[in-house]
C-alpha cells in the first residue's frame, strides 16, 4: 500500500483515479479547493483535504505532501481567465514540484495533454494559448527536477466509459485524438506501479492495447 496525494481532487479524472487507487488499497489524500466538494471525494474512498493550491506557498504545499509516497497533479484553472490559468496551471504546479522535492516525495505524475510543448503552435490570440503556454512551462520544469517524474499526454478528453485499452504515441495530436477521462485515470494508476515509466513523457489516446502492455512496450 502506498500513500498517494492527488492535487485537483474534484476533477473528473481525479475522482475516477481516487476510486481506482482506493479500491486497490492505497491510502489516498485528495486536495480540493472548495469545501463543498469534500463529500464527492470521500465518496470515492479517498480522504479529502481543503487546500487552495493557487494561493499556497511552497512550504505550505510541502507540509501537505509530507509523508506521501507519490503525488499526482490533476488540477487546472479550467480556462476562461488567462491570469488564473498561469497562476494555477504553471505557477502553482511548479510550486508543487518544489514542494514535493522539499517534502521528500520523489514520485510525481503530471496529467498534461497530448500537444503540450514549447512549440505547441497555438496562436497568441487564441483562447487556448495561455493554457498551452502554462502546461509547456510546467512540464518542462518538471523534467528538470530531481523527481521521479512521468508526464501524461492524453488526447481530447471525453466522458466515454473506461475500456482499459489505449494507443501510445498516436501521431498527429491535431488529428481528432480522443481519450476518455476514465482511461486517463487507469493510465495514471498504472504508471504509479510501473518504475519503467519514470522519466518518460507518454502521449496516448483510446485504442486497442491493454494499458499495462502499452505502457511497458517501447
The mean pLDDT value of the chain amounts to: 95
pLDDT of residue 176: 65
pLDDT at 174 over 70: no
DSSP H helical segments within the chain, as ranges? 12-23, 38-42, 58-65, 82-85, 93-103, 129-143, 181-192, 211-216
Checking if the pLDDT of 175 tops 60, the result is no
- Return the residue matching grid coordinates 508526464: 151
Q: How far apart are CA 202 and CA 181, in angstroms?
A: 15
The answer to whether 161 and 182 have CB atoms below 8 angstroms apart is yes
Across the range 70-92, mean pLDDT stands at 94
Residue 173 has pLDDT above 80, yes or no: no
Q: Categorise residue 52: left if φ over 0, alpha if ψ from -120 to 50, beta otherwise.
A: beta
Q: Is 190 helix (H, G, I), strand (E, B) or coil?
A: helix
The arithmetic mean of pLDDT across residues 167-185, rounded, is 85
Please tell me which residue, 218 or 129, carries the higher pLDDT value: 129
Residue 1: pLDDT band (50, 70, 90) is confident
Region 118-136: what's the mean pLDDT? 93
Instruction: Render pLDDT for 31-69 as a digit per residue (tens, 0 to 9).
Output: 999 999 999 999 999 999 999 999 999 999 999 999 999
pLDDT at residue 218 greater than cutoff 80: no
Question: What's the average model confidence in pLDDT over 69-75?
Answer: 98
pLDDT band at 179, cuts 50/70/90?
Answer: very high
d(CA 26, CA 125): 43
- Residues with Cβ within 8 Å of 182's Cβ and at least 6 positions away in sequence, in order, are 16, 160, 161, 162
Q: What is the pLDDT of residues 183-199, one digit of tens each?
A: 999 999 999 999 999 99
Chain centroid to CA 192: how far?
A: 12
CA–CA distance, 210 with 212 (Å, rounded to integer): 6
pLDDT over 60 at 125, yes or no: yes
Mean pLDDT, residues 122-148 taken together: 96
- Give the HSE-up count for residue 59: Cα atoms under 13 Å, Cβ half-sphere: 0
Query: Has residue 74 got a pLDDT over 90?
Result: yes
Beta bridge partners of 179: 157
In whole angstroms, what is the distance from residue 9 CA to residue 17 CA?
9
Q: What is the pLDDT of residue 140?
A: 98
Half-sphere exposure of 176 toward its Cβ, with a 13 Å CA cutoff? 0
Give the residues across from 164 on adjacent strands. none
How far is the C-alpha of 152 from the C-alpha of 129, rounded, in Å?
A: 19
CATH code of the domain made up of 3-216: 3.40.50.720
Question: Could you give phi then psi for residue 133, rounded to 5 degrees?
Answer: -65, -45
- The pLDDT assigned to 104 comes to 98
* Confidence band, pLDDT 50/70/90 cuts, at residue 79: confident
Q: What is the pTM of this model?
A: 0.96
Amino acid at each position: 500500500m502506498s500513500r498517494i496525494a492527488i492535487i485537483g481532487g474534484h476533477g473528473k479524472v481525479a475522482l475516477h483515479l481516487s476510486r481506482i487507487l482506493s479500491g486497490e488499497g492505497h491510502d489516498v489524500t485528495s486536495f480540493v479547493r472548495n469545501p463543498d466538494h469534500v463529500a464527492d471525494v470521500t465518496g470515492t474512498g479517498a480522504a479529502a483535504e481543503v487546500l487552495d493550491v493557487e494561493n499556497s506557498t511552497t512550504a505550505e504545499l510541502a507540509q501537505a505532501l509530507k509523508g506521501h509516497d507519490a503525488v499526482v497533479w490533476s488540477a487546472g484553472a479550467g480556462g476562461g481567465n488567462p491570469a488564473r490559468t498561469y497562476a494555477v496551471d504553471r505557477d502553482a504546479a511548479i510550486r508543487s514540484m518544489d514542494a514535493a522535492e522539499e517534502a521528500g516525495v520523489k514520485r510525481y505524475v503530471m496529467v498534461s495533454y497530448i500537444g503540450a510543448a514549447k512549440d505547441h503552435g497555438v496562436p497568441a490570440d487564441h483562447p487556448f494559448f495561455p493554457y498551452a503556454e502554462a502546461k509547456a512551462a510546467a512540464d518542462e520544469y518538471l523534467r528538470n527536477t530531481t523527481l521521479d517524474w512521468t508526464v501524461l499526454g492524453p488526447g481530447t478528453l471525453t466522458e466515454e466509459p473506461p475500456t482499459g485499452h489505449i494507443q501510445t504515441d498516436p501521431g498527429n495530436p491535431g488529428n481528432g485524438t480522443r481519450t476518455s477521462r476514465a482511461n486517463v485515470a487507469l493510465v495514471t494508476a498504472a504508471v504509479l506501479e510501473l518504475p519503467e515509466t519514470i522519466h518518460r513523457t507518454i502521449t496516448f489516446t483510446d485504442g486497442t492495447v491493454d494499458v499495462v502492455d502499452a505502457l511497458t512496450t517501447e
